[in-house]
Structures are given as C-alpha cells and as structure tokens.
Chains A and B, each alone.
Chain A
Amino acid sequence: MDTTSILLQITPIPFLSIVIWGLLILAAMYLARKPFHRSVGALGRLVRNAMRLAAASVVQAEKRLETRNREVLLKAGLDHAERHLEREFDRISQAVNRDLESYPKLQRNLQETLIKLEEDYRSSTEIPQSLPDWVKVIEAIAKIKPNGDHMVANMLEEIHQTLAEQHKTALDRHRKDVAQRHGILSRMLPVWRGMHKTLEGLEKSISSLNLRAKRIDQYMDEYQETRRQTDTAYRTLSSSSLTQFFISGLVLLVAIGGAVINFNLIALPMSEMVGGASYIGPYKTSDVAGLVIICLEICTGLFLMESLRVTRLFPIIGSMDDRMRKNFFWIALGLLTILAGVESALAFMRDRIAADMEALRQTLAGVSPGSMATSIIPTVGQMVMGFILPFILTFVAIPLESFVASSRTVLGVVAAWSLRTVAFFLRLAGNLGFYLGRFLANLYDLLIFPALWLEGVVVRAMSRNNAKETEREQPPSVEDGQGYAPAAEGGKEVAE
C-alpha cells in the first residue's frame, strides 16, 4: 500500500479524506503565512541587494577600465602623433639640408650669371660705328655732272671709286658690329633660361617646404588635441584604432595564408633532412622543423623591420646607435637571405621527392613512369616562390604591430562592453529575484484565499462588535471616527 492510499483512507470516503487533508493543509499554510511572507521577502531583498552590490562593483570596474582604456588610447595617440611629427621634422630637415645647403652655391651661381648678363648687356649696348661724314662731301662731289673735261671726269671717276670702296668697307664693318651684337644677345638666351630654371627649382623647394610646414601644423593641431585629452580626440583615436584592428587582422590572415603555402613547400623535404618517422608529440618532427623555419623567418623579418625603424615592437633595437643598428640590419638581411636560399633549395628538393613518389606510385599502379610530364616550369616556380616568400613575410611586421597596438584598444572596448552587460544582467537578476519573491507571496495568498476570506469575514464581524461596544460605553462625539482606526489598521495589516 502506498502513501497516497494511506492518506486517502483516513475516512471511509476518499473524497471526504481529500477535503479533510485540504482543510488541514490550508490551515497549516494559513498559520505559516506570515513567516513565509517574511522569508520570501527577505530572500527577495537579499537577492536584489546582493545583485545591486555586485552590479555596482562591476560598473565601478567598468568605469576604471574605461578610464584606463582612455588613458592607453590617448597615450598611444600621443605616441603616434609624436612619431608623425618626428618623421615630418626629419623630412623637413632633410629637405632643408638638401635644398638650402646648396643655397650659397646657388647664390654665387646667380651672381655670376647676373654679372655675365650685365657684361653682355654692356657689350651689346656699344652701337656700331656709323658711316663717316666725309662720305657726304665726296658723294656731293661725285654727283657733279661731267662737263667734258677729261681731267675732271677722271678725277670724279676716282672719287666715285674711292667712295664706293669706302662705302663697302664701312658697310662691312657695320654689318660685322651688328652681327657681333646679335651674337652677344643670343649668348644671353641660355643664361636667361638657366637662371629661370634655377629660380623655378628654388620656388619648388620653397613650396615643398611650405607644404611640409602646413602638414606639421596639422599634426601639431592633432597632437595638441590629443594632449588636451578632448572627447573628439578620443573618439577619433578609437575609431581609427578599430579600423586599424580590422585592416591589420585581414592582412595578417592573408599573411597566414602565405605562411601555410610556405609551410607546405618545405614540410616534405624537411622529412628528408630530419627524418619522416620521428614525432614531437602528435606532430611530425619534419612538420615542426618546417614551422620553426617559418617562425625564424618571420622573427628575422621583424628584426629587419625593427632595425629599419619601420616598426617599434622592440624598443631596444630602435634605441641602438645608428652604426650598431645598421650592422644589425645587415646581419638580419644576411640571415633572411640564407633562410630564403635554404627554402628555395628545399622547394627544389620537394619537387624531386614529389616526382620520385609519383613515379613509384605509377609503377605500383602498373603505369609506365616515362609518361610523366618533365617540364621544369613548376620546379623553377617553386624555387622562386620559396625564395620570395620569406621576404614577403618580412612585411608581416607592419600589420602585426598595428594589430597588437589596436587589439589592446579593441580588447579594452570589448571588456568594458562585457562588464556593462554583466552589470545589466546582475541588476536584472536582482530585480527578478525581488519581484519573484513578491510574486511567490501573492501566489501563496492565492492558494490559501479561502482562509484569508474567512479571516476577513471574522475580522470585520469582530470590529463591528467592538465598535458597537465602544458606542455603548462612550456617548457619541465628534471623534467617533477615531474608534474605528485601529480596526482598520488591523485589517490592513492582515490583508498585507
């Protein structure tokens, strides 16, 4: 016999047993009502307060993180702006050195050119000698008509000849002078052109300097904005950081693709060097060796970029003195070239091994190996790729630096957002706990509503009796209403 049957057999009629049990449970629940309400209310308040406390703590942590993020971002922005300014100053210094270092020479050239031009000008101002005045006299004599005198005619003939000769000589000299003058003037033309070109170059240099100065002004503005830690600067830096994160992430993904191809090029031939049967953990030693070579190439590439001051991942390299840095660069470049050479040789070996394997496979399949294609293009292609890929991987340093720098900001933003979400859910859980407690209390009351209804009826009857007794004991007065007050309060208390 199970418990239910026993419970139903307290009277011969099961329905009556159910009713009795129901009444007993109702009575028990009515008696336990106030402690239940208190317990549930306390539990609800406990949950709400605990959650609110936790949420407040999380919000505080989020604010601290936000402040820290802001500080880090502004510091990074400041560094960035400083770097930009430094580079621009470097460039302007180089431009000034390049263009204005030769300024004295340029000035001397210009002066020399001007002197030359002046001399030429002076030379060209000398007017050619005009024809002599006596020519007019002789010309007048020559125009005298011969009157038949033979002697006069001869004389005049002589004069005419002399005059013609003199005229020719004078004209030749005049032409020569004019030609000389023209020669001087035409010699001046290239000098003028040269001067024009020099002045144009000067103008270009000056306008380039102007442009750089404007850019420096712009960077200076940004720098000052960042230094003032304004909201605009923060927003700009934040958005720029997010863009950097996604772009560098994308480029890194492409680089990972390149590294995978590189790995596939050298993994098989590495088994020829380190053996194809040994394992490091669950991975083939040859695979690990190939991976290590690629990692070494990437590391060497990082050092190379670092020594060129393109990236600043290792400040110690950037802060080396120039000679040592230059040596470091050449060492890194040498190592990278050696690694690229090794990889190229491995790519060649891979091609040979793959061809041998294919030949064996064909033999095993009963196909003559002679039918295999023997083009050298794939071999050369693999070798070139094996040589170039390490150098291409060198450039990974640039997106890597951006990624590392921007991921700090992005992670900070994500962490702040997560904390905010956690705080929201904590508050929500607190409120849910509190109102769930109230709901449970109301549900409890709903379950025992017959007892509560009965209590209400009894209380109302009792308060009516009390009121009547009070009326009988005291004469009616203006303050009658006060007599009902405790009953009403009591009723309220019960209802609660």
Chain B
Amino acid sequence: MKGGHKKLFAWILAVLMIWPACFACSDSKSHTKGVYLLLDTSGTYKVELKKARALINYLLGTLQPGDTLAVGRIDTGSFSEKDIVAKVTFDDRPSVANNQKRAFMQKIDKFIKSSARSRYTDISGGLLQAIEYLNEVGPGSKYILIFSDLQEELAEGYVRDVPFQLSGFHVVALNVTKLRSDIRDPKNYMRRVEQWRQKTEKGGGTWRVINDLERLDAIFKD
C-alpha cells in the first residue's frame, strides 16, 4: 500500500507539472482582441457622435489587458494614419491598463468636442486603414466597428475599387441610421446595407448590423 501511494503521488505530480507544458506546446494561438472603430464625421452623421462616446466607454470597460483599441475618423480621405484619433494596446498589467483607458477616454472626449464636419464620407478608405492597422498589430481576433449610416460619398478623384482582404475580420456596422431617402423608400437602406455585407463577405469577413446601442454585448459574440 505504501509503495502504491508513492507511485500514485508521483504520477499526480508528474501530471501537474507536464499538463501546463503540454498545453503551452500545443496552443500558440493569440487570445487578444483588436478593435478598430470608424467614426463617421460627415455632415449628416456628425450629430450621432455623442452616442459614440457611450460605445467607446463600453469598449474600454470590456477590453482586457493585451487587447488593442483604435478609433479612426471617416472623412473625405480616410485612408491615412492622420485619421487615427486614438490608439492603444493595453498593458499586460491591469493597473497600467486602467490608466491607459482613462487617458484614452480623455482623448476621445477632446476629439468629440473639437471634431469638424467633413464634406465627404470615405468609408472604404477607413476600412482599408483599419485592415492595415489591425494586420500590423496582429491580435487573435479582429473587429472593425463602423459607426456610420453607411452612405459613402467619395470626393472627385478618390478611387476605392480595391478589394478588401477581410479574412479573419468581423465587421460590425453600428447605429446605421435611416436617411430621409430611406424613409421614403426603405429599399435604399436595404440595398446600402446589403452592398456592404456583400463587400465584407466577398473579402472573407463576417458581417453584422447592430442598431440598438443597448445591445452592444452582441459585438463580441462570434
């Protein structure tokens, strides 16, 4: 019996020691999230920006140490680093991450107060910028949140017929408001949303629309 106990405990200890190592060897997948939020600052949508503050606060409360959050502006030419309003990769330590979240919140507040209306809406450029940024950061799962009415208006000379490489991306359209023309003819709205869904899915990404900002927890439900 004594020998039996000894053997049993040797086994238990060996399993305890080997078990985490096995998992470490077998799984090298990153568990972090990368979120890029595109904020529409065009004339028709500027008034909705205050709602975006609540959305960003939700994201700050939900994201964990190691996750990445960036907020980009959709304006006349959104495919530019200059349009990234704020970006942060949260530190591994929760206390530092909390301070980073506070600083991020202040930056966003300043932006919402001081941002100017843009004449055009370059959603595709913003999307390309988001893809580029998130691919560079390389998180485990990538989310692009588009806070816009999805009505793209490109300025003259801007070419956006680049196919999106959205494999591994989750694209979520938030607060897609109805325009006056949509109220007259809902088909316009449906066509617009469908067009973006097709673009996303053609690029290999997943598409989702969340119009109710009380249901933000659905963003990360894969």
Contact = CB atoms under 8 A, between A and B. Distances in A.
B94 A272 contact: yes
A261 B2 CA distance: 32
B180 interface: no
Nearest to B65: A276
A268 B98 CA distance: 14
Contacts of B23: 280-283
A169 interface: no
| Prevailing SS type, chain B contact patch | helix
B158 interface: no
Contact of A313 (B5, B67, B105): B5
A314 interface: yes
A314 B26 CA distance: 33
Interface of A: 72, 75-76, 79, 268, 271-272, 275-283, 288, 292, 295, 299, 312-315, 352-353, 356-357, 360-361, 363-365, 401, 404-405, 408
A268 B95 CA distance: 11
A353 B61 contact: no
B92 A282 contact: no
B93 A271 contact: yes
A277 B32 contact: yes
B157 interface: no
Contacts, number: 94
| Prevailing SS type, chain A contact patch | helix
Given A79-B1, A281-B26, A353 B94 contact: yes
B90 to A, nearest CB: 8
Contact of A363 (B5, B8, B16, B102): B102
A276 B20 contact: no
A156 to B, nearest CB: 109
A315 B29 CA distance: 43
A357 B101 CA distance: 10
Contact of B64 (A277, A360, A361): A277
Interface in B83-134: 90, 92-95, 97-98, 101-102, 105
Contacts of A352: 95
A363 B93 CA distance: 20
B6 A314 contact: yes
B57 A356 contact: no
A360 B6 CA distance: 50
A404 B6 CA distance: 11
Given A277-B67, A280-B23, 12 more contacts: A72-B1, A276-B65, A280-B20, A281-B23, A282-B23, A283-B23, A292-B20, A314-B6, A314-B9, A356-B94, A357-B94, A361-B61
A53 to B, nearest CB: 33
A365 B101 CA distance: 13
B210 interface: no
Nearest to B58: A364
A435 B162 CA distance: 77
Nearest to B64: A276
Nearest to A272: B93
A68 B217 CA distance: 59
B72 interface: no
